[in-house]
Structure 1
Amino acid sequence: MKKLVNLIKDKHTDNGIDINPSATFSEIAEFENKIGFSLPTDFREFYLTCNGFGCNEDMFNMVFLADIRTYQQDYEYKWFYFSEYMNYSDMWGLRRSETGQFEIFNGSYPEKSMTSSLTEFLQRFLKGNVFDNGGLYEWHDEIGIK
């Protein structure tokens, strides 16, 4: 996860990116208690690497844990929005299904699962940001979200 975050940082250094310091174990535990489930391993690794980041490219953000907790509309029991662009014009969330499976979904199309992997999500952002070739919106098209 550290390598992936560093690659994203390096790609966006010229355009502007702010990487937050890592979250503490207690901050993660408090967050998990609030959302009602333990985070998947790659989410824990991400938040222990950096507690979110803000990228000027497409105004894309991986949301700081405290910001998620602050805004009730951005989480419920068993799900939360972890990423957004253009000041919450679109969002991506993580939910835990009744069977215990994790699903990343787009906030505009919550009935469709994109992946269960934050690593895969971040690799798509690294490849094509939100709108470019190979990015998040092209991924939406590939899996039939739009």
Structure 2
Amino acid sequence: MATPMSSLLEEVSREHLPYPPATPEEVAAFERRVGWKLDPDLRAFYLHCNGAELAARPSRTSFSILPLHKIVRARVAIYGEDDDKWGPASVYALCDVQDGNYVLVDVARLENGRYPLFDGEHEARPAPAYCRQIARSFSEFLEQALRTRRGHS
């Protein structure tokens, strides 16, 4: 059974390094800038914390869930060009894995009211054609990430 988003957010605040919450005005400005609406999971996260550094276990690198102002199209984040040859305009970099790779959200693929997330490897060209789906929603991704950080597989 999935962990409720409220419990995941409490764990982020308790065990990791969340940024201060986004204001409703910042969320609205972000949605105007990108031309899509945050789904309920993402909205809850960003109103709780506008990004976060998930602390790593000693043997693992940490990663950053990007603040709203740093979310850009995946093709810009990964390849430095906003060009269709690097993938669709609907795919955005949501989380910097800090090894040149990103966790991506495809806002053209709303499923059960949530956007799916993908493993955005910079070696995959164009993104996300060769990227595998890693979660059906942001809450599922966050639960997996927190479980990994706790040392459970």
Same fold (TM over 0.5): yes
Matched, 1:103 2:103: no
AA paired with 2:119?
N
Q: What's the CA shift for 1:55?
A: 3.1
Matched, 1:61 2:29: no
AA paired with 1:41?
P
Q: Tell me which residue corresponds to 2:105.
A: 94
- Alpha-carbon displacement from aligned partner over 1:74-108 (angstroms, at most 9, x marks no partner): 3874331111122x5221011122x6442211111
Name the CA distance, whole Å, in 1 between partners of 2:110 and 2:139: 19
AA paired with 1:82?
L
Instruction: Give me the TM-score of the superposition, normalised by structure 1.
Output: 0.71
RMSD of Structure 2 on Structure 1 (CA): 2.7
Name the CA distance, whole Å, in 1 between partners of 2:118 and 2:141: 10
2:92 pairs, out of 67, 80, 88, with 80
Name the CA distance, whole Å, in 1 between partners of 2:50 and 2:118: 20
SS of 1:129's partner is helix
AA paired with 1:85?
V
- Aligned pair in 2 of structure 1 residues 56, 4: CA closer, same or farther (>3 Å)? closer
- Alpha-carbon displacement from aligned partner over 1:26-80 (angstroms, at most 9, x marks no partner): 21122122222111110000000100111341221111111225x9813874331
Q: Which has the higher helix share?
A: 1
Structure 1: state its 5+ residue gaps. Answer: 12-16, 135-146
AA paired with 2:102?
M
Q: Which has the higher strand share?
A: 1
Name the CA distance, whole Å, in 2 between partners of 1:94 and 1:31: 15
Q: Tell me which residue corresponds to 2:137.
A: 117
Give the paired residue count.
125
SS of 2:20's partner is coil
Q: What's the CA shift for 1:113?
A: 2.3
- Aligned pair in 2 of structure 1 residues 21, 55: CA closer, same or farther (>3 Å)? same
Name the CA distance, whole Å, in 1 between partners of 2:110 and 2:146: 28
Q: What's the CA shift for 1:10?
A: 3.2
- Contact 2:110–2:116 under 8 Å retained in 1: no
Percent of aligned pairs sharing the same letter? 24
SS of 1:3's partner is helix
Structure 2: state its 5+ residue gaps. Answer: 83-87
- Aligned pair in 2 of structure 1 residues 100, 121: CA closer, same or farther (>3 Å)? closer
Name the CA distance, whole Å, in 2 between partners of 1:35 and 1:72: 14
SS of 1:127's partner is helix
